[in-house]
Amino acid sequence: MRIAVIGGGISGMLSWYLLQQEHEVTLFEANDYLGGHTATIDVEVAGVTYAIDTGFIVFNNWTYPVFNKFIADLAVEKLDTEMSFSVKNSQQDLEYNGNTFASLFAQKRNILRPSFWRMLADIVRFNKLGKQLVAAEHPDLDLKLGEFLRKYKFGNGMRDNYLLPMGAAIWSAGLTEMPSFPVRFFLRFFNNHGLLNIADRPQWAVIKGGSKRYVDALLNKLGTANLRLSQNILSVSRDEQGVTLHFANGESEQFDKVIFACHSDQALALLGHNATADEQSVLGAIAYQQNEVVLHTDTGLLPKRRAAWASWNYNLDATERSRATLTYNMNILQRLDAPVTFCVTLNNTAAITKEKILGTYQYAHPVYNMMTMAAQQKRSVINGHNHTYFCGAYWYNGFHEDGARSAVDIAAMFGINY
């Protein structure tokens, strides 16, 4: 069969990789590069070039089985890294890094601060309770996060200086949105990723030399004959025979099947009036949020105390509440030995010294709420019908593995197991 895959992120790349084994597959990408959120930027400092990841950065050995298999197939080397988390709240004169006992008390006054000890006790209680409720499939999993925290009387310190920033950092979401997060979705993710454990946690890793290395390896393996970059597709129409892609230059091309490996709202826009009522209902229920991402070298966005610097650093000083305001310390995450500290900051551009900005980018992330979860349950209603398939991280938790997992789901529908 002739299959068109629209979208060159992880979902599209893995769909291409798997389906080309038995079919004639053409991958279409709107950008002039392949990778989607796999966006590595080369930066030269003092005559040395550093490959800095600004989108997809980390994965682990527990919950990324498909992606780990994929990079093993491509013979791409990974590098173990540290996944630590800090919070900076100048209003309360508070900062900490939860990685070790020493970094937890990098701010020495935390030792004598009763509110800090109450926060730690609440974290331990939340972790224990979360495990119990997930194991029991407790009815309270149907609550929203804010309701859950109130019901079980968790303190404001734990909520505001740990749990909500942690959730916002993980899903690139806003603090204002986090209380509406579905508890079932939240706790299952935390439990699966070992975040409810004090010690037993997965080993996180990065792609050695930058995440684009696996994209380069894929291109070396498959070549570029069936890859089309900088494609401006206006619409996709369907009939009994198959699908037709309509391009901005007036040309059109026919295929037997189409796989939308782009965001769900983009797929719906391409289908336009040709979308079925079910497609409009399911895909239209999933919202997205734009996040501004800045690559820079301004360490002023990190905690004041260097001992509190972590891989992920949430800045509660920012006035922005509807979007995540955190800074990734890329020197820690990518194990970089550089004369400057490379930082990647979300949604706090005004706080960055302009002279230290190396690049600004925009990435969209799915919004997780009750509507999204309901839409996820209806994937089979639209997937595989009308010669059309939909894959993307939005069907699961929104991460790289989820995009890869959804591609494997599609391949299975074509009889290809991975």
My answer on whether 390 and 267 are in the same domain is yes
Report the alpha-carbon distance of residue 289 to residue 278 in Å, rounded.
23
Query: What is the Cα gyration radius of the chain?
Result: 22
Are 391 and 335 within 8 A, CB to CB? no
**pLDDT for the residue numbered 200:** 86
In the structure encoding, which two tokens stand for residue 301, read together?
Answer: 């966005």
**pLDDT for the residue numbered 253:** 98
418 assigned to some structural domain: no
Question: Nearest Cα to 324, choosing from 360, 291, 278?
Answer: 291
217-252: pLDDT as tens digits: 999 999 999 999 999 999 999 999 999 999 999 999
Confidence class for position 198, pLDDT limits 50, 70, 90: confident
The residue with tokens 């194990």 is 335
- Residue where one domain finishes, among candidates 331, 347, 366: 366
Q: What is the mean pLDDT of residues 121-142?
A: 97
> What is the overall mean pLDDT for the chain?
97
My answer on whether 99 and 131 are in the same domain is yes
- Residues near 94 by beta carbon (within 8 Å), at least 6 away in sequence: 87, 88, 107, 110, 116, 161
**pLDDT for the residue numbered 127:** 97
My answer on whether 107 and 176 are in the same domain is yes
Q: What is the mean pLDDT of residues 134-146?
A: 97
32-76: pLDDT as tens digits: 999 999 999 999 999 999 999 999 999 999 999 999 999 999 999
My answer on whether 133 and 170 are in the same domain is yes
Question: What domain range is 6 assigned to?
Answer: 2-77+211-287+368-413
My answer on whether 61 and 112 are in the same domain is no
**pLDDT for the residue numbered 20:** 98
My answer on whether 233 and 352 are in the same domain is no
Write the CATH number for 124. Answer: 3.90.660
**pLDDT for the residue numbered 65:** 98
My answer on whether 262 and 373 are in the same domain is yes
Q: What is the mean pLDDT of residues 349-364?
A: 97
My answer on whether 372 and 345 are in the same domain is no
Are 67 and 404 within 8 A, CB to CB? yes
Q: Which helix (H) or strand (E) holds 51?
A: strand 48-53
pLDDT at 199 over 90: no
My answer on whether 95 and 131 are in the same domain is yes
My answer on whether 402 and 313 are in the same domain is no
Q: Which of 11-15, 177-181, 195-199 is predicted least confidently?
A: 195-199
Domain count, the chain: 2
